[in-house]
Copies of this chain bind each other. A is one copy, B any other.
């Protein structure tokens, strides 16, 4: 992450000769100093992906103006694109249930400034986290999920998210399955941390499943949420070694450490506009 103010351009488009030249040329003409740039050509899909950080002070214009000027080129090359300003903090809403290791972890990163975002609120289907969240000066909303009518909760969730004007929803060990309509309404905006190395051990009790299968490593996966449970594009994964000596509860314990680290990395990539979705895969530039 750059400290100086920068604009981040993120795009994907059909691959062809000269894209980098056109984009870099546009930025150079605008006087833009490139702080960081990366790109990827996928030979299977024929699609090109690019992310550029430009020093905002070297450009003779603000973000709306840059956006306006870039649009014709974007149209010509049929880009799916976005420009972001590092001075505008992203807003994330965090959802938790009763386990709080990911929440503590995110709060520490937020409080120390490592995670440079606004957290307009934390939402939970339990009251357990209220005290900690409010101590940090963050509003806490208790949204119980009634098994016989979950829709009330989903509507409340949706309203809270909209009211918060948030960009991203982080399921930090939120033990409820969101409805398809919510997943689709916020496609690419909802991150989940799943407590297994996907695609192994989809669904409930992955550590129990892992123990029974006798695997020698357990892991965690940060992915975008889609209507298909645990099938969304993977952003980040990691594993840790276990042995026959470890009971299920030990796997759970090791897993917590991996979950925290993987969610934090995945969220960071997402917030830095480094993640581009490519079907079931992600390009992390």
Contact = CB atoms under 8 A, between A and B. Distances in A.
Contacts of A109: 101
Given A237-B215, A261-B257, A17 B21 contact: no
A99 to B, nearest CB: 7
Contacts of A114: 253, 256
B212 A198 contact: no
B112 A108 contact: no
Contacts of A27: 21
B199 A217 contact: no
Contact of A108 (B104, B241, B281): B104
Interface stretch (A32-40, A82-90, A150-158, A181-189): A32-40
Given A20-B37, A245-B40, A280 B213 contact: yes
Interface in A224-270: 233-239, 241, 243-245, 247, 250, 253, 256-257, 260-261, 264
B101 A284 contact: no
Nearest to A104: B108
A214 B197 contact: no
A42 B35 CA distance: 9
A43 interface: yes
Most buried by B among A20, A42, A58: A20
B247 A43 contact: yes
Contact of A213 (B38, B104, B199): B199
Interface in A42-101: 42-44, 58, 99-101
A136 B224 CA distance: 34
Nearest to A39: B37
Contacts of A205: none
B214 A280 contact: yes
Contact of A24 (B21, B198, B200, B216): B21
A271 interface: no
A31 B17 contact: yes
A28 interface: yes
Interface string A187-205: 0000000000111110000
Interface of A: 1, 17-22, 24-25, 27-29, 31-44, 58, 99-101, 104-105, 107-109, 111-112, 114, 131-132, 135, 197-201, 212-217, 219, 233-239, 241, 243-245, 247, 250, 253, 256-257, 260-261, 264, 278, 280-284
Given A17-B58, A216-B235, A257-B261, 16 more contacts: A18-B24, A20-B24, A21-B21, A21-B27, A24-B24, A24-B25, A36-B41, A36-B245, A101-B109, A114-B253, A131-B135, A197-B239, A214-B233, A244-B278, A257-B260, A261-B261
